[in-house]
Amino acid sequence: MTATATQTPPPAAPRAAGGKGGRTRLSVPVILLIVAAAIIVVSAVRAIAGADDVTSSGQIAGALTGAVPIALAGLGGLWSERAGVVNIGLEGMMILGTFFGAWAGWSLNPWMGVLAGVLGGMAGGLLHAIVTVTFGVDQIIAGVAINILAAGVTAYLAKRIFNVGKAATEGGTPKQSPPIEDIKSFTVPGLSHWLSTLEKHHWFLISDLAGIVGGLVTNISSLTLLAVVLFVATFFVLWRTSFGLRLRSCGENPVAAESLGVNVYLYKYVAVTVSGGLAGLGGVFLAIGTHFYLEGQTSGRGYIGLAAMIFGNWRPGGLAMGAGLFGYADSLQLRSGSDSVHALLLLLAVLLLAMAIWKYVRKAYVSAGFALGFAVLLAVWYATTDTVADEIVQASPYVATLLVMGLSAQRLRMPKADGLPYRKGQGG
């Protein structure tokens, strides 16, 4: 064990660490400081703009509900792409998850639904693996095909299953499953109530904190907890075990991995199948959240999950942030529309101002000038209007994601062999 550990991996490991070290790696205290600063800025904006919903517990709970399916799809993408297989088929695997989850969830119980949805997604993943790994079909084309196939298959099955007999009398239709029971959700007993009374006072910072924590401890679905566990588990499995190292080596340099005796095909198969299962779980979350399978209910969340994964630099932590950002922005625009988004303008102005100062200190005067200019523009926009046009409000989650992705794109590094075809023995 120790002998092998000292032989091959170390030469690679320091290089990887050194590469990251040059990019100001964030330590835990620094992250906590950033989070604290962000909360202070947000609560200040909340107090100034009077948009109380920005940090309300309902808003945070809504953001969480919006973020979990995206995060799970993204996590699926992460597994697959870390092993070098691009998975555009996440959306289709999510659709399979909604359908099979709802089917078993209705006819048996919600937890069997979770299992069935995950298995359904895994079937989609397995198909993707067979087609791309064994037969070497272009990964993007195969993914698109799976999306189309999943939509077609579920539409067909829904008509055959939900529209007949017992299902139909319980409200099933070709577009909708009969209702599914609730899955267990958790509330931290006294804390949640105490926080909600604190929140109602609208005190600066204290109520904001109470709202945020309150949203995180009230009525949390077991599936949300499961998602959190899966994120932590993914990190440990992929970055702290030899299995994970081998899996990632298939995504970085499969030829080298093969030369060291790794069965690259097998690892790719495992990764893509797990990927499908995670996307399927994201689908189940949607179905159980609305208590129905509804045709088209994934509404492109699989693609957004993929974007969140790229945003997160193919790392679980970054992915969770990306999904959280999208969920937050989406929940904000859905819940209170133009009021909160109007307050967001002020927040953006403050952030850009901070960025301008940062750039100025770093002597990047041009970027500083741009940031300052945009900050002033946003501030003027905020001051001269009372609401934001609905079109902009509804686009805000997409714009926010795009902006952040644009700003962070130069720092991204995808797995080196991601998306490239690999044949056994191609290294000669």
Q: How far apart are CA 374 and CA 369, in angstroms?
A: 9
Could you count the other beta carbons within 10 Å of the beta carbon of residue 126? 15
Number of residues that bind other proteins (CB under 8 A): 62
Q: Which amino acid is at 339?
A: D
Q: How far apart are CA 388 and CA 348, in angstroms?
A: 14
Helix/strand/coil (H, E, C) string of 19-44?
Answer: HHHCCCCCCHHHHHHHHHHHHHHHHH
Q: Is 91 in the site for other proteins (CB under 8 A)?
A: yes
Q: Which stretch binds other proteins (CB under 8 A): 38-46, 167-175, 275-283, 363-371?
A: 167-175
Site for other proteins in 332-371 (CB under 8 A): 334-337
Q: Which stretch binds other proteins (CB under 8 A): 36-44, 154-162, 238-246, 254-262?
A: 154-162
CA atoms within 13 A on the CB side of 119: 11
Q: Is 252 in the site for other proteins (CB under 8 A)?
A: no
List 39, 44, 109, 173, residue binding other proteins (CB under 8 A): 173
Written as six digits, the tokens of 393 are 């409000």
CB neighbour class for 235 (10 Å; exposed up to 12, middle 13-18, buried from 19): middle
Q: How far apart are CA 346 and CA 382, in angstroms?
A: 6
Q: How far apart are CA 344 and CA 346, in angstroms?
A: 5
Q: Is 159 in the site for other proteins (CB under 8 A)?
A: yes
Q: Which stretch binds other proteins (CB under 8 A): 6-14, 171-179, 229-237, 354-362?
A: 171-179
Q: Is 326 in the site for other proteins (CB under 8 A)?
A: no
Q: Which stretch binds other proteins (CB under 8 A): 39-47, 136-144, 252-260, 315-323?
A: 136-144
Q: How far apart are CA 72 and CA 320, in angstroms?
A: 9
Q: Is 305 in the site for other proteins (CB under 8 A)?
A: no
List 222, 263, 367, 394, residue binding other proteins (CB under 8 A): 394
100/314 with CB nearer other proteins: 314
DSSP character at residue 132: I
144/255 with CB nearer other proteins: 144
List 72, 88, 250, 350, residue binding other proteins (CB under 8 A): 88
Helical H runs in 260-315?
A: 264-290, 301-311
Helical H runs in 22-130?
A: 28-49, 57-82, 90-107, 110-129
Q: Which stretch binds other proteins (CB under 8 A): 7-15, 38-46, 121-129, 148-156?
A: 148-156
145/347 with CB nearer other proteins: 145
Interface contacts to other proteins, rule CB under 8 A: 53, 56, 58-59, 62, 65-66, 86, 88, 91, 140-141, 143-144, 147-148, 151-152, 155-156, 159, 163, 169-176, 178-179, 286, 289-292, 294-297, 299-300, 303, 306-307, 310, 330-331, 334-337, 390-391, 394, 409-410, 412, 414, 418-419
